Structures are given as structure tokens and as C-alpha cells.
Amino acid sequence: MEDDRHNNIGTNKLPNFLLSVKLKYVKLGYHYLISNAMYLFLIPLLISASAHLSTLSIQDILVLWENLKFNLLTVTLCSCLIVFLGTLYFMSRPRGVYLVDFACYKPEAARMCTKEIFMERSGLTGSFSEENLMFQKKILERSGLGQKTYLPPAVLRVPPNPNMAEARKEAEEVMFGAIDEVLEKTGVKAKDIGILVVNCSLFNPTPSLSAMIVNHYKLRGNIVSYNLGGMGCSAGLISIDLAKQLLQVHPNSYALVVSMENITLNWYFGNNRSMLVSNCLFRMGGAAVLLSNRNSDRGRAKYQLLHTVRTHKGAEDKSYGCVFQEEDDTKRVGVSLSKDLMAVAGEALKANITTLGPLVLPMSEQLLFFATLVARKVFKMKVKPYIPDFKLAFEHFCIHAGGRAVLDELEKNLELSDWHMEPSRMTLYRFGNTSSSSLWYELAYTEAKGRIRKGDRTWQIAFGSGFKCNSAVWRAMRRIDPAKEKNPWVDEIHEFPVHVPKVATITIGSSSSS
């Protein structure tokens, strides 16, 4: 048997990460704010100078000219100063990154897998013991997944036939389905795409997934392409951050970001319970996002990207090993979940949120938070910690639908309402854990409900192996009319939300999981 690190799933509670923060992450947040907003200090200066000049009359300007025309040095210095400030402003100002549109892949009905079908096919494989079949049934009952999630044909077939050819078919079906839809929605030609970023954690064939897309759509030869592998469920926001940085140095460009996970070759056929949990949660899905830095796209874009914050805890051994792909005792490959997973996730979330706070919270919240933090950490005063109200910074929350337990704990720690958590819970219920693409199903749900108004801010937050926690903040450029939208929810949005009852946790060894 393997050690407890691999046989047990940790407790289903996150540590209360907002009650204990480190000053270095607060400092990092203010460092981001200052380094990324230097150009903001130039705007008031230029506005002030323009306002002062606007008060001058024609006579004042003539008098000024008479005084200056005999002073060549003053005129030269003033001209150089104006040119310098203007150049500094335009060089330091980051390019706007706009989300023109996005698409989430909705598999055909033949891919649908109810809980009963899941259990029937799992039993027919002959791979699982009776005890572990019952274990999977209990996990399904407590997972928060509904009856309409999707699995690829190779897994649903009797007997299952996972192989490279089937895995490629799944990848092509998901990626091309999402890309076709986003190109149709935006009217952008494939040849116009200059940047391509694809992420899939567990399936990395040769040629790469990005090469598959380049070949299928005959993208141009000088395209800047990246293929991210092994980065877990948070890789979708890593891809967004990478695309954002590339758009800062490639003017007048479109960037296509494709996020997915591949189920076919990563179905676990063993009896290690920490590896069986993934079978019960992960489902088929993917998303394609089209970003632009063109000013001409500002008017039609849905969102503008305001911030991305990435946190990596991989330097700590406990964090590095909490989600681990490896072989079990029978040499079957699976992804094991450590009993420390929830604690590690809490620490990563704490660091990420603390860094993000100075970038997004109103000044009143920052002052209260910072004052109590200094009082506790520096002056060792016994004062109650102040928990910032992130609902003042964001109208909408898209929290990675990794599992019901994490959603429950985040709802409690961030003091969010059922309304705020609805997109995440309904995505988990309808589509399951689609890994890095789940955030886009959640945003699509919010759009289909008609909740997005011009100026609304949306916080996407995801976490994954490594261990990483990443955030992205978007501002709506316009109201999103659900009647004009095409996304996987619109034809059934009237059925949601559904009530998902809370149930007790189950015990695995000395630990528990929901």
C-alpha cells in the first residue's frame, strides 16, 4: 500500500485564510499597483496643464509669446519637457487587452453520462472492487454533479478503449468545436490570428495541440504559438496572462486562447481511492477565447482585462505533491490527491487574494484592512482581524468548479451569497469539473441569465496542481443581451438554478472528502 499522502483525501474545510495573512503578499499587491500604474501619475499632470492653458485668453497667449520669443533657451526646454512627458506617457501606458468574445463547447447528446450510466459502465469494466464501486457512488452523490454531464466515447464504450487515436478525436472535437463557434461569433478570419495559446494538462501529443490547430485552420506561418501542459486546472488563467503579456509587445494583434482537458487517456482503472475521485469529478469540455489589443475592437468587445495575479507555491514540498500524477501499486497511472489538498489550497488562495486586494478593493476597505493588519502583525495588538468585503470590488464571481467542498468553503470565507455562487455551482452541476475551461462556462451562465451590465467587474479565480492559484479581473464594456447570445446555456437557462442539497461528507481512511 502507498503512504497516507496518497491514500487519504484531506478534510473538506479550507483554513480561514482571511484571518491570517502575510505582510509580504500585501506588499506585493502594492508593488503591482505602483509598477503597473506609473502612467496614471502622468494623466493628472497632463490634465492639469491642459486645464490651465484652457483658461488663457488670446491676449494672454500673445503676451506669453512676446516674452518667450526672445528667450530661446526657455522655449527649447519647455518643448523638450512636453515631448518627454508625452513620450513617457505613451511608452509606459499598457495596451488595452479586450475580450472580443468566447465560446464553450457543448458536446452532443450522445456523450451525456448520467450517474446511473457512470456506475453501470464502471461496473462493466471489471476493474473496480465492489467496495470501490460503492465508494464512487457515494462520491457522485456528494459531488454536486447532475445528470447531464459528458464523457468521451472511448470511456462510455463497453468495453472502454482508451488509446491515442481516440484521445486525438476528443481533443479535435472539443477544440475545433469551440474555435469554430468563436470565429463565427466574432467574424474574425483564422489568418488574422497572430498569437495562439493552448493549455491541456494531461494530454500532450506530438505534434502538439497548438500544431493541430495551426494545421486544421491553416494559420499563418509566423504565428506566435504556445502549448502549456501539466499546469492543472488553473492553466486557463495562466494562458490568459501569457496572452496579455504577448499582446503588450505585438501591436494590432488577435490572440486565441484555448483551454481544455482530455479525459480519454486519463481515466483511472485502478483501486486507489485518492485516484478514483478524479473519475467522479472530471468531465468533457473546453473553451476558446479571442483577445485583441486593437483599438478598433474596443467598441464591440465584451470585456476589458484589468488585472491578472498569479501565485505559485511549488517551492513548498507539501504544495508540490498534493496533486500528483503517478502509478499505483498495480502500475496503473492516475492523479492522486493528498490529504493536505484543502490546506494547501487555502494557503495559495490566501496569498493570491492578499496580493489582489490592493489592486481592486476600495480605499476605505484597504485602510481598514491595512490598519488592523499592522496592529496585529507589527504592534502585536489583540484586535479582531478585518475581513475586506470583496463584494464591493466585484459584481460577479467565477470560482473554479473543482468540487462542491471548495465552493462551500469559499462561499463562507468570502461571505458570498447563493446568488454570487450560483454560476459556479450550476456549472459543476450541469457540466462537471471541466478543468481549466470551467471559468468560461460560469461566465457564459452569468451572461445567459442577463446579469452582465456595462461597467460590471467579474473576478475569475482558479487553482491547480503545482500548487497554483491565479486570478483575472474583467470589466464589462457593454451590457450583454442574452437574447443575442449563443452559448451552451441559452436553450436551457430557464431550468436553472436547481437546488443541490448539502449532504454529509464521507470518510476515506482517517480523512474526509465531499
Positions marked catalytic: 233, 312, 396, 400, 433
Residues 6+ apart with CB under 8 A from 7: 1, 272, 273, 274, 508, 509
Cβ atoms < 10 Å from Cβ of 304: 15
Cell of 66: 512676446
CA distance 381 to 366: 19
Q: Please, are residues 463 and 234 in contact by the beta-carbon 8 Å criterion?
A: yes
SS3 305: strand
The DSSP bridge partners found for residue 68 are: none
The DSSP bridge partners found for residue 463 are: 469
CA distance 365 to 469: 23
217: left (phi over 0), alpha (psi -120 to 50) or beta: alpha
Residue type, 280: C
Residue 420: exposed, middle, or buried by beta-carbon count in 10 A (0-12, 13-18, 19+)? buried
- Among 448, 424, 104, 469, smallest CA distance to 284 is for 104
Ramachandran angles phi, psi of 429, nearest 5°: -70, -45
Over the Cα atoms of the chain, what is R_g?
A: 26
- Strands 254-260 and 193-199, sheet pairing: parallel
Helix axis angle for 438-448 and 418-431, nearest 10°, is 120
Residue 126 is classified by DSSP as: S
Cell of 297: 475592437
| Start-to-end Cα distance in the chain | 23
Residues 6+ apart with CB under 8 A from 10: 337, 338, 339, 340, 341, 342, 343, 511, 513
SS3 183: helix
